[in-house]
A = this chain, B = another copy of it.
Amino acid sequence: MTINIDQANQKAIDAFMEARPVLVGVAKVMDVIPGMHENLFLHAGPPVTWERMSGPVRGAMIGAIFLEGKAKSVEEAEAILKSGQIEFAPCHHYDSTGPMAGVMSPSMMVYIVENTTTGYKAFSGLNEGRGKVLRMGAYSEEVINRMKWLNEVLGPAVDRALKEMGGLDIRTLLAKALHMGDDGHNRLDAASLLYTNFLAPYIIKTATDLTQASEVVKFLGENALSILNPVMAGCKTMTQAGHNIEGSTIVTVMARNGTDWGIRVSGLGDRWFTAPSPKVKSLYFPGFGEDDACPDIGDSVITETAGIGGFAMATAPALVTFIGGTPRDAINTTLDMYEITFGEHKHFNIPFLDFRGTPTGVDIRKVVETNMSPRVNTGVAHKDPGVGQVGAGVVSAPMKCFEDALVAFAEKFEI
């Protein structure tokens, strides 16, 4: 079989870059995600059983059981989750991406992002803010009440606003945010402000209750990660557009569940290549340390997969106050990532590097050749269920995923 890998890779990253993700609305998981059913709960990363599930994913599953009204105590919830009544599956198997634990259950509201170039739709939940939150494995009453408020108040308000404004172009918004000190993953201060600014007039215009409208705008404006989930779904539509290109060595999915790190490669279909998830090099919140940390977790690394996040760190020097390191480290991270990517982004660029396009399209060949794996900006969850976020930092993907994928690629194409 003759393949032209470079040509295939160019096709893959062209598809990444031609994708035009537009945030079109908010709806219930059950109503919009194809294949969803009452007893299916999604989670971040590659597939994992209850037995091997990390603390934060277990915690978020318990919270989801509460939210769905299936149990009232942790013991009851755990009994249900262990019993086999609930089916677990990766978000990525259902066109979705979940930050951190990434748990999505049937009644949760999710953002709908459509790649208007292809019509493909991806989904992601409503962001709860930082700290003690479901996606970090917390499930207290406060957490569940906030989830309910997101479902009942914020979700519908944002949906009405998005419909009224005719959708929001995520790629343009991200391109702008990268000129405003955001990396597009761990620092989304500017993107979240832009998001709130775009929405606010339409939230007001379509308000059914003024107090609620004021609260929704305040919540969105004060949460520097408001836009994280639409950005993740947007990045999913980009990388998915470049998936399943025969002969391509470009990575189209990277994801972690706190137990395993996994990748998928464009030319290798839906097979996961996994390795144990490493710990994050992190700055910890007061009172927490490395012993408290769950290994690397979440689907948010879809941003790096699409060419932003850690790959765009050179444009986000202020981020080092949150994740550690120096502005020089931030620049070097981006420069390193050019060594393992196939191209440079047409729409995302870095003013400080003379507007050079961000490193885009991780090439498993280059990762193995240079022995340098993708670097990811990320949050860190407590290892136990029920706690929440403990820090933020930088992590390198395990080499094994890329090595195994390259072997599989060589086998498949008889190289």
Contact = CB atoms under 8 A, between A and B. Distances in A.
Q: Max chain B CB contacts within 10 Å: which of A194, A197, A205?
A: A197
A322 to B, nearest CB: 11
A119 interface: no
Interface stretch (A147-155, A209-217, A240-248): A209-217
Nearest to A351: B317
B179 A318 contact: yes
Interface residues of A, number: 36
A247 B354 CA distance: 44
A204 interface: yes
Contact of A205 (B200, B211, B328): B211
A317 B182 CA distance: 14
Interface of A: 179-182, 189-190, 193-194, 196-198, 200-202, 204-205, 207, 210-211, 213-215, 217-218, 221-222, 317-318, 320, 326-328, 351-352, 354-355
Contact of A200 (B189, B211, B221): B221
Contacts of A190: 180-181, 190, 193
A221 B198 contact: yes
**For the complex formed by this chain, how many copies does it contain in all?**
2
A197 B193 contact: yes
Contacts of A351: 181, 317-318, 320, 327
B194 A204 contact: no
Nearest to A213: B204
Contacts of A211: 205
A221 B214 CA distance: 16
Nearest to A215: B201
A319 to B, nearest CB: 8
* Nearest 6 CB-CB pairings of A with B: A317-B351, A201-B218, A197-B221, A179-B318, A193-B193, A204-B214
A320 B328 CA distance: 22
A198 B327 CA distance: 29
A205 to B, nearest CB: 5
Contact of A214 (B181, B194, B201, B355): B201
Q: Max chain B CB contacts within 10 Å: which of A180, A194, A202?
A: A180
A194 B182 CA distance: 14
Contacts of A180: 180-182, 189-190, 318
Given A204-B210, A205-B210, A320-B351, 4 more contacts: A180-B182, A181-B181, A193-B194, A201-B215
A328 B353 CA distance: 9
A312 B88 CA distance: 52
Nearest to A216: B201
Contacts of A327: 351-352, 354-355
A182 B318 CA distance: 13
Nearest to A316: B351
Contacts of A217: 200-201, 204
Contact of A181 (B179, B197, B205, B213): B179
A250 to B, nearest CB: 29
